[in-house]
Structure 1
Amino acid sequence: MNLQERFKKNLLLHTQDQNIIDILWKEIESQYSQKERYYHNLEHLDNMFSEIELVKTHISDFSNISFSIFYHDVIYDASSKLNEEKSAELAKKRLQKINREQKSIDEIFEQILATKAHQKSHDSDTNYLLDADLSILGQSSQVYLDYTKKIRKEYSIYPDLLYKPGRKKVLQHFLDLEYIFKTDYFKNRYENQARMNIESELKKL
């Protein structure tokens, strides 16, 4: 199932208004296809769904987590520190259009905000979302290297003098966590490789 089919199928659970469905998808597609997005793009969403599908039976509300994936980076500006907040706000407005119940909107809002600090949550679905978002960290060294190059391109407005200290801080934050991954599944699958990848990148910065 491609992203468009997945998005529309999820919306059809909550509205039959094809016009709204088309408008919301076009917005998602447009936002994630911006030319300055080298990593935080549609491919990132596709990869997250590939990961989350593997633990689908552990997700209590797959519709909610699907909306959270689609909207968690819908606003992305490398020079802003409010991307998650703005993305969560936009998700709230769009989901109100399809009359999603407030409880679900609040849950999605909080899940998107959680992708800012990536701290372990009391909510199991949120932890699976965070782990899927960070799964790139535990990929092969070559895939990880490609990811770091894409991130650097997204932050090309900053010279190395500013980029490297900021990147080091982010990477060290992950290493300082007891576990990068919050769920047993992702921990067993990616934790060791993620730490090796991060330590390797830190040595090069």
Structure 2
Amino acid sequence: MQIDTLNNVWNQLLEPYTKSQALIDQGFELITRHYSATDRHYHNLHHLYALLQLQLEHSDLIADNENFLLAIFFHDLIYDVKQPDNEEQSAMAAAEYLFQTSYPAADIEGVMNFIRATKTHVNTDAHPDLDYFLDFDLSILGTPADVYAGYAKQIREEYSIYTDEVYNAGRKKVLQHFLDQPSIFKTDDFRAQRETVARQNLLTELQSL
């Protein structure tokens, strides 16, 4: 089951940095509680699991898989559609938890920077691992049309507090922002495999709004 896989990965990540199983369990409870909230329709445990699968497939191309995995677990920990600072709040929550362990402070800062980068999806430091991290986060954009349509519906459900008029205006800006980029994906792998499909999906949704 997905939850068992997530739990196993979490334990393997944290065991070298704390002798307290209670602290490890507390961290996983924090993760599952937030990602299982009833208002989560896309940014949930299934999303986490999907990113873990991508990490597993590409782990030989990632220099620091520990930082990468921790950033996956925490990157959408805080997700409130009414707030503009979810990424910063998620980064701070990651730091608050990790500083209770012996995880190196410099690496904690690296995890926080990865999480913060999901706000703009800009890799200002040209960090190769961050290119993959951001591409994983946007990988849903380059999936088959029916999968993408399901994703778009889930996002709309997460923003259900807003009227169609308000939501559509905001969603159009997001879609157009990605379409205006020279490329949606940053790595050669994802550009080759998903760029064309992603652009068609975004255009199709844009035209439907």
TM-score by length of 1: 0.98
Q: Which amino acid aligns with 1:36?
A: D
Q: Which amino acid aligns with 1:132?
A: F
Q: Which deviations, in whole Å up to 9, do the C-alpha atoms of 1:137-182 show, x marking residues without a partner? A: 0000000000000000000000011000100000111011111111
Task: Give the structure 1 partner of residue 64 of structure 2.
Answer: 61
Deviation by residue 1:39-76 (Cα, 9 ceiling, x = unmatched): 00000000111112221111111000000000000000
Corresponding residue pairs, total = 205
Matched, 1:189 2:193: yes
What amino acid sits opposite 1:87 in the alignment? S
* Cα deviations by residue, 1:5-43 (Å, 9 ceiling, x for unpaired): 111111112222101001000110000000000000000
**In structure 2, C-alpha distance between the alignment counterparts of 1:59 and 1:25, rounded to whole Å:** 24
Match for 2:78: what amino acid? I
> Does residue 176 of structure 1 match 2:176?
no
Alignment gaps of 5+ in structure 1: none
Which sits farther off after the overlay, 114-123 or 71-80? 114-123
Once residues 174 and 162 of structure 1 are traced to their aligned partners in structure 2, the CA distance between those partners, rounded to angstroms, is 19
2:157 aligned with 1:127: no
CA distance in 1, matches of 2:162, 2:98: 35
Amino acid at match of 2:8: E
Query: Quick one: distance in 2 between partners of 1:120 and 1:22?
Result: 32
- Report the equivalent of 2:48: 45
Q: For residue 185 of structure 1, report the CA deviation from its aligned partner.
A: 1.2
Match of 1:204 in 2: 208
Q: Which moved more, 1:25-34 or 1:114-123?
A: 114-123
Q: Which residue of 2 is the match for residue 84 of structure 1?
A: 87
Distance 2:185 2:197 in 1: 11
1:117 paired with 2:116, answer no
2:119 is paired with a residue whose SS is: helix
Shift in Å, 1:189: 1.4
Aligned with 1:153 (options 157, 161, 181): 157
1:13 aligns with 2:16: yes
CA distance in 1 between counterparts of 2:120 and 2:156 reads 20
Quote the Cα distance in structure 1 between the aligned partners of 2:44 and 2:163.
Answer: 23
User: What amino acid is aligned across from residue 179 of structure 1 in structure 2?
Assistant: S
Could you tell me how far apart the structure 2 residues matched to 1:186 and 1:56 are? 15
Tell me: higher relative CO, structure 1 or 2? Use CA pairs within 8 A at least 6 residues apart: 1
Query: d(CA) in 2 for partners of 1:7 and 1:186?
Result: 26
* Aligned-partner SS, 2:184: coil
Q: Any unmatched runs of 5+ in structure 2?
A: none
Paired amino acid for 1:188: A
CA distance in 2, matches of 1:133, 1:37: 16
How big is the shift at 1:99?
A: 2.1
Q: Which amino acid aligns with 2:133?
A: L
Report the alpha carbon displacement of residue 119 of structure 1 after superposing the two structures with TM. Answer: 1.3
